[in-house]
Amino acid sequence: MRTAVLTALILGVFPTVAAAAPVAPEDLFKMTFLSSALISPDGTHVLVESSRMNGPKDTYDRTIDLVDVATGTLTHNVTKHLGDGDYDWMRDGRSFVFVRTVEKQKPQLYRYTLADGTVVQLTHIKNGVSGPVVSHDGDRIALTVTDTDPAHGAYVDYSKAGFTPASSQEKSDVHLIDDLFFQTNGAGYTYRDHPHIWTTDADGSHPTQLTSGRYSEGFDAWSPDDKTILFDSLRYATVDSGPSDVYTIPSTGGAMQKLTSSLPANNGMFFGADGHRVYYLSGDVKDAAERPALVSANGDGSDARVIVAHNTVPWGDSLLADMKEGGGFCGLPLPSGNLALLNIDGPGYANVRTLDLNSGALRDITPPRGEAWSCSVSRNGEHVAYLYSDFTHPADVYVANISGGAPRQLTHVNDAYLASVTLSQPVEFTVKDSAGFAVQAWFMPAVGGTAGTKHPTLLDIHGGPETQFGDTYFHEFQLYASLGYNVVFSDPAGSTAHGYAFEEALENDYGDAMFRDVQAVMDAAVQRPDVDASRLAVLGGSYGGYATLWVISHTNRYKAAVAERAVSDLQSENLAADFAGKNGLGGGYYNWGPPWDPASTDYAKFSPLTYVANVHTPLMILHAENDTRAPIDQTLQEFTSLKILGQTVEYVSFPNENHDLSRTGSPIHRVERLHLIINWLKKYL
């Protein structure tokens, strides 16, 4: 792969790079996106979900691929059917179960046998299935089956109306809602959907429903003896986003038992090796920066012991890029009985570590760099499979030994593409902010344009804000560098993995703490000889869109701006978003008081809309019409205000897309989005 490397931050010297194709928006059609790496119990194979853009259909072709651990050989679309996924290995490692959706039918469970490639349908459950998890002995499979409340009959007396209704008119499409959290970005109205836990025998027979009712359950784990199932559930109404409790239930059916906890946010992880103790994360909901504690307790919640204290470990992977949004959290017990395997954020990276369940001590299994996520472990606890990405490589499948040694890369799904383009290697630097915190940042040098000259430079601010930028592949950033732009990105106040105090520092200084940090980062960047300080732009999405609006309302330093899925008014955001409740964005009610109370002045104080009259930077503002995470009125308020003020602003609306347009939107819209941003930057820089 031809990679342009910046040899010294101060000197700004560029090496000579052989000619290669520039990165283009349409390169997304050439790439393969991997997810869900799952190693077989015997450690010989890894299942991985593979997605590729299908241009003519404007969708994604998803397949299950099979990787041989010994040779790295990848069998593409092993089940020979597009759309298959959601899998788990049978315990002998000779077959696996997966979920398939056949046209006009609900998704059902199937089994694939490696030896002869046969596929057999296992279930015929009316509402369809998802999330299969095979028991330790392999005799049973736990499933999620979602019940949906039926539509109410039409609120019309057709005998009085004088006509016979068509079948489509017999049921009402009107929603009567009494749940606060009734919708989810990308999934629409979800208040009528109730995921429940079922089990079947290994051959799909004897389907048994374990839970039911208006509340939902999230399945977590089988006990070592397969007699008990651990799950999460919230079984009461709340005005806070985040509460959940941990429950157990006999795997053959019976009464569920709640683990007592003094805190409202509890999420199950796994059983201990003895099957008696349960490990779970436990925290509050009032502090957006809080890291939950890891707690161990008996099955009824008694004898609770804190293994890892609050606000010490940033669990999971929160790195942002346009390949996906973070890698989530994997927490798995190892057979030794006193160790668990999990992924954890570090400053600008995420890696896989072991956790001593007695002392809370952590040990690196994968190096402290890049982004490692989607981890799974072989039955003997010796090998872990995971996905790994870094600045110049999209995700591939890796394996590592728990006992130590260098990880081994198994797949190379994007190597041909990477060899055809010139990529930029970011260089890390650090600045001190006014509060004394070290702010981690990166400078990605332009590899397009004229070498040895000053380049226009883009500041990109990440969303969240409780996420981070770091060492992972970001196609959009490589695109900008290929077009001759330097790209600067950083982890300002509020970012994860830089210590609780740094993350919490944003909560009561919501705009300015971030602003001071990104300005300090740019103050350092513009000292470079390859930066044209007269041609700077600022961009960001979600909280990064909020940050972009805040920045251009507090400085005229930037000659162009692009804000996506932005928040402009914190008061209306905290009353209208899909997560809106007492603990909304920035802590909401807990930090700033009731949003409707005129005395709660912090909402206006920290809202970019309050300062919109100060904006003179040409602004492109993009929003997806189905975005419920940052409802579209957030963009419309800023756009209308700037139009009334006579400023340069352009509103770009994407139909049939949600908050995750840049990561999971339709292929055509994702490419169009990049071209529109490029055109705007070219026009003003």
pLDDT one-digit tens code per residue, 577-603 = 999 999 999 989 999 999 999 999 999
CATH number at residue 442: 3.40.50.1820
Q: How confident is the model at residue 20 (pLDDT cuts 50, 70, 90)?
A: confident
| CA-derived radius of gyration, the chain | 26
Q: On the CB side of 23, how many CA atoms lie within 13 Å of its CA? A: 29
Cβ–Cβ under 8 Å, residues 131 and 219: yes
**Which residues in 567-648 belong to E strands, given as ranges?**
619-624
Q: Is the pLDDT of residue 12 over 60?
A: no
Give buried/exposed letters for 386-411 (b at 16+ CB in 10 A, else e). bbbbbbbbbbbbbbbebeeeebeebb
Residue 459 lies in a domain: yes
User: What angle, 0 to 180 degrees and rounded to 10, lies between the N-to-C axes of helices 512-525 and 543-552?
Assistant: 70
What pLDDT was estimated at residue 274?
A: 85
pLDDT tens-digit map of 299-338: 888 999 999 999 999 999 999 999 988 888 999 999 987 9
Residue 529 and residue 9: Cα distance in Å, rounded?
Answer: 10
Q: Is the pLDDT of residue 11 over 50?
A: no
Q: Return all residues near 470 (Cβ < 8 A) that are at least 6 apart.
A: 319, 347, 348, 349, 350, 371, 491, 497
What pLDDT was estimated at residue 616?
A: 98
Q: Which range of residues forms the domain containing residue 533?
A: 417-569+607-684
Give first-to-last CA distance, the chain, whole Å: 30
In the β-sheet with 130-134, what is the strand arrangement from edge to edge? Answer: 130-134, 140-148, 193-201, 208-209
Residue 606 and residue 509: Cα distance in Å, rounded?
Answer: 8
How long a stretch of residues is the chain? 685
What pLDDT was estimated at residue 10?
A: 33
The number of distinct structural domains making up the chain is 1
Residue 292 and residue 624: Cα distance in Å, rounded?
Answer: 32
* Residue range 96-109: mean pLDDT, rounded: 96
Long-range contacts of residues 640-649, Cβ cutoff 8 Å, at least 24 apart: 641/609, 641/612, 641/613, 642/612, 642/615, 645/612, 645/613, 645/615, 647/615, 647/616, 647/618, 647/619, 648/618, 648/619, 649/618, 649/619, 649/620, 649/621
Q: What is the pTM of this model?
A: 0.95
Cβ–Cβ under 8 Å, residues 78 and 70: no
Residue 55 lies in a domain: no
In the numeric block, which tokens belong to residue 228? 């008990």
* Residue range 382-411: mean pLDDT, rounded: 97
- CA-based nearest residue to 655, from 631, 623, 633, 629: 623
Residue 658 lies in a domain: yes
In the numeric block, which tokens belong to residue 664? 């999971």
Cβ–Cβ under 8 Å, residues 537 and 558: yes
3-class secondary structure per residue, 349-404: EEEEEEEECCCCCEEECCCCCCEEEEEEECCCCCEEEEEEEECCEEEEEEEEECCC
Residue 107 and residue 145: Cα distance in Å, rounded?
Answer: 10
Residue 398 lies in a domain: no
Residue 63 and residue 252: Cα distance in Å, rounded?
Answer: 33
Residue 330 and residue 328: Cα distance in Å, rounded?
Answer: 7
Residue 634 and residue 600: Cα distance in Å, rounded?
Answer: 19
pLDDT tens-digit map of 498-512: 999 999 999 989 999
The secondary structure of residue 186, as a DSSP letter, is T
- CA-based nearest residue to 545, from 435, 683, 677, 429: 677
What pLDDT was estimated at residue 300?
A: 86
Residue 38 lies in a domain: no
Q: Return all residues near 170 (Cβ < 8 A) that are at least 6 apart.
A: 153, 154
Q: Is the pLDDT of residue 18 over 50?
A: no
What pLDDT was estimated at residue 2?
A: 39
Residue 172 and residue 511: Cα distance in Å, rounded?
Answer: 44
Q: What is the mean pLDDT of the chain?
A: 95
pLDDT tens-digit map of 478-501: 999 999 999 999 999 999 999 999
Q: How confident is the model at residue 19 (pLDDT cuts 50, 70, 90)?
A: low
The torsion angles phi and psi of 317, rounded to 5 degrees, stand at -125, 115
What pLDDT was estimated at residue 273?
A: 87
Q: Return all residues near 171 (Cβ < 8 A) that are at least 6 apart.
A: 150, 151, 152, 153, 154
Residue 672 and residue 683: Cα distance in Å, rounded?
Answer: 17
- Does residue 482 sit in helix, strand or coil? helix
Q: Tell me what percent of the residues of the chain surpass a pLDDT of 90.
A: 93
- Does residue 137 sit in helix, strand or coil? coil
Residue 521 lies in a domain: yes
**Which residues in 585-680 belong to E strands, given as ranges?**
619-624, 649-654
- Does residue 174 sit in helix, strand or coil? coil
* Residue range 366-380: mean pLDDT, rounded: 97
Q: Is the pLDDT of residue 199 over 50?
A: yes
* Residue range 69-83: mean pLDDT, rounded: 97
What pLDDT was estimated at residue 220?
A: 86
Cβ–Cβ under 8 Å, residues 372 and 351: yes
The torsion angles phi and psi of 449, rounded to 5 degrees, stand at 75, -165
Give the residue carrying structure tokens 């019309």. Answer: 156
Cβ–Cβ under 8 Å, residues 45 and 378: no
- Does residue 505 sit in helix, strand or coil? coil
Give the residue carrying structure tokens 């932005």. Answer: 566
